Amino acid sequence: MPISTPVTEILGIRIPVVQGGMQWVGLPVLVAAVSEAGGLGVLTALTQPNPDALRAAIRETRKLTSKPFGVNITLLPSINPPDYEGYARAAVEEGVRVFETAGNNPGPLIKYFKSQNCVVIHKCTTVRHAKSAQKLGVDILSIDGFECAGHPGEEDIGGLVLLARAAEELKIPYIASGGVADGRGLAAVLALGASGANMGTRFMCTVESPIHQNIKEKIVSAKETDTVHIFRSLRNTARVFKNKVATEVVAIEKRPGGAKFEDIRELVSGQRGKVVYESGDPDYGVWSAGVTVGLIHDIPTCKVLLDRMEREVENTVAGLGKVVVHTKSKL
């Protein structure tokens, strides 16, 4: 049975699951597969070297699916920032109408997208930031809990509480990001008030994911204890797979006096992370992974995964119905 929520209605999708905008992973083949399977695939703009390359990726994706898909633009702290405006304009001109934004000061981008009648999903790690984005006019919020891969913020609030707080405070639909890898998790976040889920790590481990088979198999064999936070001392926390490089970074950060970014710059290079996905060597660099690695036990196609999640949601909800026992009053 299709799952109907405000998010499925706004985005025009069958199942309320959004594929995370993952650097080096959000490429056309995966994006199209997620959308074809009933979710929302998302291209990662900054994976492409320039706006023209993003145009080409959008056209390639459109050849593979007629279903809706989106583009992620993450605003990064940088001395020489990418051409965010150029990426945004290129995507809009190519007919993309769904955008995921993340990072600091998204106001100008959100204003531009809304002026072009686009749907905007904005990622936040706190309810406070979510309320600010709500005021900017975004359509959907993505609430990142402590369990997520990448940057969970600095407040260490798990999804169970964070999503319930979001239900109390927010007036627009939101999706849960972090901790969801199956239908049981999707049913849980729907019960907490979310209108869907954002999944990254789970989609990394699918047939259509562009990363090396060795990395997929590493995820399947991993436990929920096999991730670690780096950049804690720099107040820019990131959850990554616990490998040799990540362990070395943590050790450097724990030295007396702490660490400066220059001390770990070479170890955490994004290019090294890209090589991990290309070469299959899980210890070559740092790479993002959420605690959901402990819930991932196979490498299905995106269609098999989302079809299975639909059935699991239905079974979970049906099971909860047995928990509520109605008794006749004796009065």
Q: Is residue 219 included in any domain, yes or no?
A: no
User: Is 186 in the same domain as 266?
Assistant: no
pLDDT of amino acid 328? 64
Q: Is residue 1 included in any domain, yes or no?
A: no
User: Is 127 in the same domain as 236?
Assistant: no
pLDDT of amino acid 104? 86
pTM, 2 dp: 0.95
Q: Is residue 327 included in any domain, yes or no?
A: no
DSSP 4-46: P-HHHHHHT-SS-EEE---TTT--HHHHHHHHHTTSBEEEEGG
pLDDT of amino acid 327? 66
pLDDT of amino acid 79? 75
Q: Can you tell me the mean pLDDT for 120-145?
A: 97
User: Is 23 in the same domain as 69?
Assistant: yes
Number of independent structural domains in the chain = 2
pLDDT tens digits for range 176-196: 999 999 999 999 999 999 999
Q: Is residue 195 included in any domain, yes or no?
A: yes
Domain containing 84: what range? 6-212+298-321
Whichever domain contains 104, its CATH number is 3.20.20.70
pLDDT tens digits for range 210-219: 999 999 999 9
Give the N- to C-terminal CA distance of the chain in Å, as an integer.
40
Q: Is residue 70 included in any domain, yes or no?
A: yes
Q: Is residue 326 included in any domain, yes or no?
A: no
User: Is 86 in the same domain as 187?
Assistant: yes
Q: Which residue has the higher pLDDT, 2 or 5?
A: 5
Q: Can you tell me the mean pLDDT for 159-171?
A: 97
User: Is 27 in the same domain as 80?
Assistant: yes
Residue 154 has pLDDT above 80, yes or no: yes
Mean pLDDT, the chain, integer: 95
- SS3 for 112-178 is HHHHCCCEEEEEECCHHHHHHHHHCCCCEEEEECCCCCECCCCCCCCHHHHHHHHHHHCCCCEEEEC
